[in-house]
Amino acid sequence: MALSFPADCRYADSHETARRDGELVRIGLSAFAIEQLGDIVFVELPEIGAALKAGSSFGSVESVKAVEDLLAPVGGVVEARNEAVLASPEELQNDPYGEGWLLLVRPGDPAEFDALMDAATYGGKVQA
C-alpha cells in the first residue's frame, strides 16, 4: 500500500507531523504511524493552554494492539485541540493530514520546526 507524505508537512523521527498554519503549527500523525497502529480506539490530548516541550510526551494514541506516546515535534502552547478526534478516534485514522489533526500550537522556538524532516527524507526513511 502506497502511503502519502504531503510536501507541506514536516516529520519527526517519532512519526508526528507539523504543518504551518499562519503563525501557528498544526500537529498530527503520519500515515505510516497510522498504518503501524492499526484500528485507533482512543486518543489522549492535553488541555488548551498546556505547555509542550519538543520531544516530550503530550498524550497518547491507542489502538487495539498498542498504546504509543505522542511526542511533541515542536514546543509551544496549545491553542486548540481536535475535539472531533477525541470523540471519534477513527477520524485520525481516516484523514491524518486533514480532519484528523491533533493540536494547534503557538510555537516557541522557530528553529525546532526547521529541524524536522521534510517529506522526501521521512518517506525514504520509513519506506526503506
Closest distance to other proteins from the beta carbon of 22 (Å): 32
End-to-end CA distance of the chain: 14
Greatest alpha-carbon pair distance for the chain in Å reads 38
Q: Does 48 bind other proteins (CB under 8 A)?
A: no
Between residue 90 and residue 119, which ones bind other proteins under the rule CB under 8 A? 90
Q: Which stretch binds other proteins (CB under 8 A): 11-19, 38-46, 78-86, 105-113?
A: 38-46
Q: Which stretch binds other proteins (CB under 8 A): 9-17, 19-27, 58-66, 74-82?
A: 58-66
Residue in 39, 99, 109, 118 binding other proteins, rule: CB under 8 A:
39
Q: How far is CA 28 from CA 10, 70, 128, in A?
A: 10, 9, 22
Which residue's CB is nearer to other proteins, number 18 or number 45?
45
Separation CA 87–CA 23 (nearest Å): 27
Contact criterion met (CB below 8 Å) for 101 and 81: no
Q: Please give the backbone phi and psi of residue 123, each rounded to the nearest 5 degrees, phi first.
A: -60, -45
Residue in 23, 64, 83, 114 binding other proteins, rule: CB under 8 A:
64
Which residue's CB is nearer to other proteins, number 8 or number 69?
69
Contact criterion met (CB below 8 Å) for 52 and 66: no
Which residues of this protein are in contact with other proteins, per CB under 8 A?
Answer: 38-39, 41-42, 44, 62-67, 69, 89-90
